[in-house]
Amino acid sequence: METMDDYRDELEASFRKVSEGDIISGTVIDVSEEEVILDLKYFAQGIIKAADLSSDPDFSVLEKIHPGDVIEATVVATDDGQGNILLSRKDANDVLAWDKIRQLFETESTVTVRVKESVPSGVVAYLEGIRAFIPASQLALDYVEDTESWIGKEVPVRVITVDQEKDKLVLSGKAVARESAREERNHRISMIVPGTVLEGTVESLMPYGAFVNLGNGLSGLVHISQISQRRIGKPSEVLKVGQRVKAKVLNTNDNKISLSMKALEEEMVDTTESVELSDYSSAESAGTSLGSLLAGLKLDE
């Protein structure tokens, strides 16, 4: 049998005082292009006009808001003339969004935004309803000259500057792209089997060795001790930038490719020696028959 305790929460909610400026939450019970209706667990329903839902000019009520969604909004008026509480999600967002954005900044979280327009030196997007700037230098790994072509694109970004007092929010897609490229590079490196022979181009010479461009965004280091069998004082004694070389993969520890040209030289020597030995495997070709061995001996008579 139902008792008053079963309705305690509803009763307490219905008697609570709601004032203009309060931020309250409600559950969406109806959505149209003109407005959203909320169940506030109160004697009156909440109404949010479409214009008060978001500052984003491309915000679509029917796409973004659905029955069952829980929305926080600011009380604009306790009576809209028809017994409803008039709310503004946009006003509440100006208060709550910055808190969410600061949290995204502190946790270095990745979020996806859609580029809305091109402006000098970058593009504009909206995060949590707040207008944000993405510099052309932060859209991708490389500087983007044609920012117009990015309008409408979705970009994974991170918050790199947040200043509520100056209404300044700056995002970076480059930070995410750099990390994604690093993960992809590390994956490609992990697929390389030690002992594999690779070919590449010497891209730089250092006192301690040579860096070889292996293509596909990968480079490997040939330590000076692994360049040649003979002792050298500096890599330039044997190599020059732009030279094509082959080297064996020694290891891929710490996502770094260690190469050895010396190992290939040693293998070539071993191969040459084995070929020479094989030439003498036949008694006829090697001249090791019993007659040949005795031919040079003098026996005492």
Find the mean pLDDT for residues 194-219.
Answer: 93
Find the mean pLDDT for residues 213-239.
Answer: 92
Is pLDDT above 50 for 272? no
Instruction: Output the six-digit token pair for 193.
Output: 């089997």
Q: What is the pLDDT of residue 2?
A: 56
Instruction: Output the six-digit token pair for 125.
Output: 């997007």
Is pLDDT above 90 for 23? no
The stretches of the chain forming alpha helices (DSSP H) are 8-15, 61-64, 89-107, 174-190, 262-279, 283-286, 290-295
Find the mean pLDDT for residues 46-67.
Answer: 86
Residue 123 in 3-state DSSP?
strand
Q: Is 270 exposed, middle or buried (0-12, 13-18, 19+ CB in 10 A)?
A: exposed
Q: What is the pLDDT of residue 91?
A: 78
Q: What is the pLDDT of residue 186?
A: 92
Is pLDDT above 80 for 184? yes
Confidence of residue 213 (pLDDT cuts 50, 70, 90): very high
CA atoms within 13 A on the CB side of 175: 16
Q: What is the pLDDT of residue 299?
A: 43
Instruction: Give the torsion sign (CA, 110, 70, 88, 21).
Output: negative
- Compute CA 291 distance to the chain's CA centroid, rounded to the nearest angstrom: 76
Is pLDDT above 70 for 149? yes
User: CA–CA separation, 180 vs 173, rounded Å?
Assistant: 11
> What are the backbone angles phi and psi of residue 31, rounded to the nearest 5°?
-135, 135
Q: What is the pLDDT of residue 278?
A: 36
Secondary-structure percent of the chain, ordered helix, strand, coil, rounded to 5: 35, 35, 35
Q: What is the pLDDT of residues 61-101, one digit of tens each?
A: 888 899 999 988 889 898 888 888 999 888 787 778 898 99
Find the mean pLDDT for residues 273-278.
Answer: 37
Instruction: Output the six-digit token pair for 109.
Output: 């979280």
Confidence of residue 266 (pLDDT cuts 50, 70, 90): confident
23 or 101: which leads in pLDDT: 101
Q: What is the pLDDT of residue 137?
A: 95
